[in-house]
């Protein structure tokens, strides 16, 4: 992938109108790619994520022996390795993708061979002790570089583990489940807050058995996986940018078809409703236990109210917080975010970058260690936005720019392609000027 940085100019809009269908969910695509590549047989996925992150997972799994093809109809076809990866003599490049690195660590720890996982500059700054610790407790030989990538794993037989995650994280939970899948005995992950459950649903879809309780999940290993055919639901975290954009303009009308509405991900719809947007979910269906539906948003001429996002809500909305904070100035009563310290160790320090970029646009904002206060009733002007190479910052401020006075320049706009390469084209399609 090219490392050249690109700029994008975003002009103010009058309205958001139209109907869109979005590319596949990033979290589900990672899991389908990893499990399909590990399973017995040939899997096929339609509407697979078009983002660079999921391409990183596919290329790592390819290096580990899976065969990956793109079919003429756009589907991805994967011949799995049947539970045994091929040793590789070069590092596996996880690019910008924390999900790839953390989940693949669990998959590889019980395999035969020595594996090195590397990532780009941003990923090499992110904390990896959270996966090293439980895997080491299972008996894995895993070393980090000062708490970060590069990670070296010398595959070995593991022991089952009962583990409570200190910071609730779906990536860490998934890492342990993937190790537990291949380990004799009963491995349990407990979490104080419920995190997204795509791994649990995907493992079951591929034929694994697991037991779920309110705050824990248990897998009895070893188990084998069988290939599946699946359609990946549209990405709700990508939809969030369009829903928030629509919410900014009284008179918007937007329909998003085929969106993933897994209850562990759909909190955004409740928050936007509480803020005053009118949201309808239509044609709800299920695909491999993932809910999929059409989301319709219209807005109230009275505009958006106010809200506080903290506790469990902050954890569930973690990927949507940048865009919610970025539209905070356009609410009447502001948006407060707390208990979201994890935002500081995402692809960038998202608390610092949201605060800095809101200020660049002329907004008043208060930064806390674990969140932000963004007062409402503010007018913003166009500005130069530093995305910090973070896809969600680039897209969040493209949304805020729609309601600013004058043009906004997004620096590092190419980073949107990490999760959503089509973002700017689709925004042009639905933004009425």
**Contact set with ligand S3P (CB under 6 A):** 27, 30, 99, 169-171, 174, 196, 318-319
Closest CB to ligand S3P among 170 and 353? 170
Question: Least distance (Å) from ligand S3P to the CB of residue 342?
Answer: 6
Closest CB to ligand S3P among 118 and 345? 345
Closest CB to ligand S3P among 174 and 306? 174
Is 319 annotated in the active site? yes
Question: Least distance (Å) from ligand S3P to the CB of residue 26?
Answer: 7
Closest CB to ligand S3P among 171 and 218? 171
Closest CB to ligand S3P among 342 and 414? 342
Under 8 Å between Cβ of 387 and 397: yes
Question: Least distance (Å) from ligand S3P to the CB of residue 137?
Answer: 19
Question: Least distance (Å) from ligand S3P to the CB of residue 283?
Answer: 25
Residue 222: is the preceding peptide bond cis (ω within 30°)? yes
302 token code pair: 């009275």
Closest CB to ligand S3P among 138 and 418? 418
Closest CB to ligand S3P among 53 and 414? 53
Closest CB to ligand S3P among 174 and 252? 174
Question: Least distance (Å) from ligand S3P to the CB of residue 272?
Answer: 19
SS3 per-residue string spanning the chain: CCCCCCEEEECCCCEEEEEEECCECHHHHHHHHHHHHHCECEEEEECCCCCHHHHHHHHHHHHCCCEEEECCCCCEEEECCCCCCCCCCCCEECCCCHHHHHHHHHHHCCCCCEEEEECCCCHHHCCCHHHHHHHHHCCCEEEEECCEEEEEEECCCCCCCEEECCCCCHHHHHHHHHHHHCCCEEEEEECCCCCCCHHHHHHHHCCCCEEEECCEEEEEECCCCECCEEECCECHHHHHHHHHHHHCCCCCEEEEEEEECCCCCCHHHHHHHHHCCEEEEEEEEEECCEEEEEEEEECCCCCCCEEEECHHHHHHCCCCHHHHHHCHHHCCCEEEECCCHHHHHCCCCHHHHHHHHHHHCCCCCEEECCEEEECCCCCCECCEEECCCCHHHHHHHHHHHCCCECCEEEECHHHHHHCCCCHHHHHHHHEEC
Question: Least distance (Å) from ligand S3P to the CB of residue 261?
Answer: 16
Question: Least distance (Å) from ligand S3P to the CB of residue 62?
Answer: 20
Question: Least distance (Å) from ligand S3P to the CB of residue 41?
Answer: 24
Tell me how far apart the alpha carbons of residues 256 and 234 are, in angstroms, rounded to a whole number. Answer: 9
- For the chain, the farthest-separated pair of C-alpha atoms sits apart, in whole angstroms, at 61
Residues 6+ apart with CB under 8 A from 348: 122, 388, 389, 390, 393
Strands 253-260 and 290-298: antiparallel
From the candidates 93, 120, 319, 390, which is the catalytic residue? 319
CA angle, residues 167, 168, 171, in degrees to nearest 5: 105
Q: Give the active site residues.
A: 319
């Amino acid at each position: 992938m090219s490392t050249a940085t690109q700029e994008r100019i975003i002009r103010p809009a009058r309205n958001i109108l139209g109907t869109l269908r979005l590319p596949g969910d990033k979290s589900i695509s990672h899991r389908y790619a990893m499990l399909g590549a590990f399973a017995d047989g040939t899997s096929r996925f339609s509407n697979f994520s078009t983002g660079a992150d999921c391409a990183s997972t596919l290329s790592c799994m390819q290096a580990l022996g899976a065969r990956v093809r793109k079919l003429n109809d756009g589907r991805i076809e994967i011949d799995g390795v049947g539970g045994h990866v091929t040793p590789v003599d070069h590092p596996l490049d996880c690019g910008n993708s924390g999900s790839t690195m953390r989940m693949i660590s669990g998959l590889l720890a019980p395999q035969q061979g020595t594996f090195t996982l590397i990532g780009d500059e941003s990923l090499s700054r992110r904390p990896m002790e959270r996966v090293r610790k439980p895997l080491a407790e299972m008996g894995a030989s895993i070393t980090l570089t000062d708490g970060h990538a590069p990670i070296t794993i010398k595959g070995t037989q593991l022991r089952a583990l009962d583990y409570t995650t200190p910071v609730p994280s779906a990536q860490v939970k998934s890492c342990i489940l993937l190790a537990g899948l291949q380990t004799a005995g009963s491995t349990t992950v407990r979490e104080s807050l419920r995190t997204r459950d795509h791994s649990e649903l995907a493992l079951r879809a591929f034929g694994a058995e697991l037991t779920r309780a309110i705050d824990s999940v248990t897998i009895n290993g070893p188990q084998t996986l069988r290939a599946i055919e699946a359609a990946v639901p549209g990405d709700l975290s990508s939809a969030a940018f369009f829903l928030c954009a629509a919410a900014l303009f009284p008179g918007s009308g937007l329909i998003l078809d085929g969106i993933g509405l897994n209850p562990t991900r759909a909190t955004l719809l409740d928050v936007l409703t509480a803020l005053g947007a009118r949201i309808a979910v239509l044609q709800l269906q299920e695909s491999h236990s993932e809910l999929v539906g059409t989301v319709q948003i219209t807005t109230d001429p009275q505009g958006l109210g106010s809200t506080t996002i903290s506790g469990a809500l902050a954890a569930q909305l973690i990927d949507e917080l940048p865009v919610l904070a970025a539209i905070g100035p356009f609410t009447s009563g502001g948006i407060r975010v707390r208990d979201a310290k994890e935002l500081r160790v995402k692809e960038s320090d998202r608390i610092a970058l949201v605060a800095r970029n809101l200020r660049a646009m002329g907004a008043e904002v208060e930064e806390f260690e674990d969140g932000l206060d963004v007062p409402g009733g503010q007018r913003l002007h166009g500005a130069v936005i530093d995305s910090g190479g973070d896809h969600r910052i680039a897209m969040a401020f493209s949304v805020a720019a729609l309601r600013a006075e004058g043009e906004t320049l997004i620096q590092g706009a190419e980073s949107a392609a990490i999760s959503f390469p089509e973002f700017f084209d689709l925004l042009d399609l639905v933004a009425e000027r």
